[in-house]
Structure 1
């Protein structure tokens, strides 16, 4: 069986889309080729890297990319994980199914926080929400994997 190709799209490809790529690869690496990208490129968020590593899903080798920088363009599914990406999603051919599953933006939510444990708590909450989403990806997509 050929792997399905999924793109997870966010604003800056620094946090939520990176976590989603990591979790989807963790759960379905043998059945899914997953990529992440942003409308813009903001660099990899160190808190996202840290909380994913805590969960045993390292993403420190990921790179922040825009869609134009990806080695693949032929996707079966595009999943937007923030409203900005949903509203500014680039054009994809009609055969690509574009879906949305929004998550809170940890960098935005923590912008005025100084306590590192408080900041990490926000990132961990979103990480766990994305993990739960990724673990139920077949149901979300309406397919079996």
Structure 2
């Protein structure tokens, strides 16, 4: 059975959406296929995003930044935007696609020492994790109902 495709979008696909993709693959790979993409993808997944995910046992080191156009010809079940720019500039998709928007600050814009930047990346990771735990619980409830 093919699982529904859940697409996570942000602008650069280097931090927030990659963190969310890693978390969802860990939390709910039995519910849906998770991919992430960007409206204007960066050249690489941010090294600090990789590092803070490794801290919680999730490896996103092989992930890469993808453009949303790679997915527009696929049957997308749900789109989750994790930054305001992606929400505002997301292409008009079929009305049958479920859309959710959650705004998180861009940790790539953090300034200071590496330790200070890591604190920001961890906070964003933890905030995304809390939200996705609740989202997955809701999807599981809906499936079992």
Q: Deviations over 1:11-63 (max 9, x none)?
A: 00000000000101100111210110000111211100100011101101111
Q: Deviations over 1:117-136 (max 9, x none)?
A: 11101100111111111211
CA contact (8 A) 1:138 1:144 kept: no
RMSD: 1.9
Question: How does the TM-score come out when normalised to structure 1?
Answer: 0.89
Matched with 1:101 is: 102
Alignment of 1:1-145 (within 5 A): 2-42=2-42, 43-70=44-71, 73-108=74-109, 110=110, 112-113=111-112, 115-138=113-136, 143-144=142-143
Question: How does the TM-score come out when normalised to structure 2?
Answer: 0.89
Q: Deviations over 1:60-91 (max 9, x none)?
A: 11110011124962111100000000000012
Aligned-partner SS, 2:100: strand
Could you tell me how far apart the structure 1 residues matched to 2:70 and 2:2 are?
23
Could you tell me how far apart the structure 1 residues matched to 2:91 and 2:138 are?
21
Could you tell me how far apart the structure 2 residues matched to 1:137 and 1:101 are?
11
Aligned-partner SS, 2:142: coil
Aligned residues: 142
CA positional deviation for 1:94? 1.5
Could you tell me how far apart the structure 2 residues matched to 1:140 and 1:17 are?
20
Unaligned runs of 5+ in 1: none
- Against the structure 1 CA distance between its residues 74 and 139, is the aligned structure 2 distance closer, same or farther, given a 3 Å change threshold? same
